[in-house]
Amino acid sequence: MDRPTANALLKLLEEPPPRALFLIVAHAPGRLLPTIRSRCRLLGFEPLTVDDVVAAGRTALERMDAPFDLSALERAASLAEGSVRRALTYVDPETLALVESVRARLDALPRIDLGAVLALAEDVAGKAGERDFAVMIETVQGWLSDHLHAHAAAQPARLAPLAEVWEKLERSAREVETYNLDRRPLVMSMFHDLSAAVSRSRAA
């Protein structure tokens, strides 16, 4: 929400209609105004397990009468971070190969396989790569989220580099889409920024 919207919601929370119950769903509660958070009771939800995602994805695909490979669905579910939507997107063989390739490059950081990163950059370039670019950005953000959550108890100095590169990536990806820029430079700079962030995080 932008600030005027948040302020309007805050006014409703402060002066609610009779017999009103507000359910506010937020994937990033920390971005809400502190005055809104202070008026809410936080109910956290754990992501679905891989088995749950496989079961839900299988049911959905069977109801759509869509052919699928169960082993591919299981691999997609393991990468979907509890999201059935992502698993159904990743179950496509080409998309699954892309996600696994991006994750392999990320897991190797801070080492960068320049040839593989160049190949990824070419894959998401041009009009044909628009969907793959979105999947790649989502995969990188998911990987960063995993690392930030896994080290949530660490010192801020260890988390800061990863949080900074997340914000820069989000801003850069939005600018690339808004101004229809070449995606290849972003992919290259993204992996260099990630490599530097991982190195700084480990050294902290």
Q: What percent of the chain has pLDDT above 70?
A: 100
Residue 154: the pLDDT is: 85
Q: Which of 191, 180, 176, 69 is nearest to 139 (CA)?
A: 191
With 90 as the cut, is the pLDDT of residue 151 above it?
A: no
Q: Are 201 and 158 in contact (CB under 8 A)?
A: yes
* In the block, residue with structure tokens 């990163």: 117
In the numeric block, which tokens belong to residue 190? Answer: 């993204």
With 90 as the cut, is the pLDDT of residue 91 above it?
A: yes
With 80 as the cut, is the pLDDT of residue 28 above it?
A: no
Residue 27: the pLDDT is: 78
Residue 126: the pLDDT is: 85
Higher-confidence residue of 29 and 170: namely: 170
Q: What is the CA radius of gyration of the chain?
A: 20
**Quick one: pLDDT band at residue 62, thresholds 50, 70, 90?**
very high
In the numeric block, which tokens belong to residue 65? Answer: 């009468």
Q: Which of 95, 77, 101 is nearest to 134 (CA)?
A: 95
pTM value?
0.80
Mean pLDDT computed over 94-107: 96
Q: Name residue 34's amino acid.
A: P
**Inter-axis angle of helices 114-123 and 183-203, nearest 10:** 140
With 90 as the cut, is the pLDDT of residue 44 above it?
A: no
Q: What percent of the chain has pLDDT above 90?
A: 79
Q: Are 72 and 91 in contact (CB under 8 A)?
A: yes
Average pLDDT, the chain: 93
Residue 109: the pLDDT is: 97
DSSP 129: G
Distance CA 155, CA 204 (A): 8
**Quick one: pLDDT band at residue 175, thresholds 50, 70, 90?**
very high
With 90 as the cut, is the pLDDT of residue 176 above it?
A: yes
Distance CA 151, CA 139 (A): 19
Distance CA 105, CA 191 (A): 9
Q: Are 137 and 173 in contact (CB under 8 A)?
A: yes
Residue 26: the pLDDT is: 86
Residue 128: the pLDDT is: 83
Mean pLDDT computed over 23-38: 87
Distance CA 62, CA 55 (A): 11
